């Protein structure tokens, strides 16, 4: 398995990473950044794809090697993690290695094993999507969606649809739960002239579940949301790659709010997009890692650029409704600061 992984890992130039052979004068000494994703998560057109693009862009600028590993299951992901821990705790060279774990599904395994890196001064760990710092070696990063989703919930009240369908992956993933709470509280803070209906749907009752979905299930959920066939429904998918199932089945002229990144769908209406700037945040972290200044823990959000809103058609439609977007943003940032004690 180790040989297979090493033979299939690609550098930023597309070269194969492999074990040294007798024909080589010396192994590569360029710093190596290894990313392990959640199961079947690359290709989601949102969070994980932004991580991949951000890491590769950073590698092009800064000149380090990269290795991206996407397991097909949580068990396979833990096998990859174990291989990485073994490699880094037993390394006897001075090659700098940064290992990035992107998913909270590996939380228990990481917290049980991160101290194994303490004897290697050249190995570092960055664990994403957790607000709880690691005991022992390793840094943690949490990008909260509460403030940005609060702002989106407020502004959604001024759009033209009849029904909001807030789709949440599961009630256990912290970032998903807090994103949903922020959206609902922002939505309820406004009393619109035209009353809307808010429906909330969890896709899974399993920790780490709900990030993949069959198109037939998405269609059933969408149709059950419509009270009448002519109701305009806006889908707000906080469910990673499962959002693509909804985007494929939504009828023409439906509404949606992109989460993590802007996803254009020409046949549907979209004005508000909630963006997680994980690509630029990771570039900043890698620069700090290179300079040996990577923080032990950070929580970022709307107030400090971790998240933001992108308006596909500008904010003129909100100004026509006499909405002060900057004021809504400041209220959302204040709510975020109060929640996280910033």
Residue 264 has pLDDT above 60, yes or no: yes
For residue 175, the SS3 value is helix
Task: Look at the pTM and tell me if it is higher than 0.85.
Answer: yes
Q: Which domains does the chain have, with CATH numbers?
A: 2-19+28-143+279-303 (3.40.50.2300), 146-276+312-340 (3.40.50.2300)
Q: Dihedral, CA atoms, 220, 224, 228, 232, nearest 10 degrees?
A: -80
- Determine the pLDDT at residue 14: 44
pLDDT in tens, 271-301: 999 999 999 999 999 999 999 999 999 999 9
Q: What percent of the chain has pLDDT over 90?
A: 80
For 218-251, give the DSSP string.
HHHHHHHH-SSTT--EEEEEESGGGHHHHHHHPP
Q: 280-299 burial, b if ≥16 CB within 10 A, otherwise e?
A: ebbbbbbeebbeeebeeebb
Residue 40 has pLDDT above 60, yes or no: yes
């Amino acid at each position: 398995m180790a040989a297979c992984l090493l033979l299939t890992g690609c550098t930023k130039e597309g070269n194969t990473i492999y074990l040294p052979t007798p024909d080589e004068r010396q192994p590569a000494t360029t710093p190596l950044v290894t990313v392990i994703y959640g199961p079947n998560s690359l290709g989601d057109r949102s969070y994980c794809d932004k991580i991949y693009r951000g890491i590769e862009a950073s590698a092009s600028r800064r000149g380090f090697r990269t290795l991206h590993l996407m397991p097909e299951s949580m068990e396979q992901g833990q096998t990859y993690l174990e291989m990485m821990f073994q490699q880094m705790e037993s390394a006897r060279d001075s090659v700098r290695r940064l290992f990035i774990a992107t998913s909270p599904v590996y939380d228990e395994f990481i917290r049980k094993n991160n101290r194994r890196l303490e004897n290697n001064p050249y190995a570092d760990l960055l664990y994403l999507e957790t607000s709880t710092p690691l005991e022992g070696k390793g840094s943690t990063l949490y990008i909260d969606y509460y403030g940005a989703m609060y702002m989106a919930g407020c502004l959604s009240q001024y759009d033209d649809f009849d029904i909001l369908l807030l789709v949440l992956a599961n009630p256990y993933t912290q970032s998903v739960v807090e994103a949903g709470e922020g959206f609902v509280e922002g939505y309820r803070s406004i009393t619109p002239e035209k009353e809307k209906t808010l429906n909330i749907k969890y896709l899974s009752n399993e920790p780490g579940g709900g990030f993949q979905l069959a198109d037939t299930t998405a269609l059933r959920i969408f149709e059950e949301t419509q009270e009448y066939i002519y109701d305009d429904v806006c889908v707000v998918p906080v469910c990673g790659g499962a959002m693509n199932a909804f985007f494929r089945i939504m009828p023409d002229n439906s509404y949606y709010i992109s989460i993590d990144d802007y996803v254009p769908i020409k046949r549907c209406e979209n004005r508000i997009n909630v963006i997680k700037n994980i690509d630029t945040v990771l570039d900043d972290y890698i620069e700090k890692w290179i300079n040996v200044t990577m923080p032990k823990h950070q929580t970022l959000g709307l107030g400090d650029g971790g998240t933001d809103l992108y308006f596909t058609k500008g904010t003129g439609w909100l100004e026509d409704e006499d909405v002060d977007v900057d004021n809504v943003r400041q209220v959302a940032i204040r709510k975020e600061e109060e929640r996280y004690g910033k």
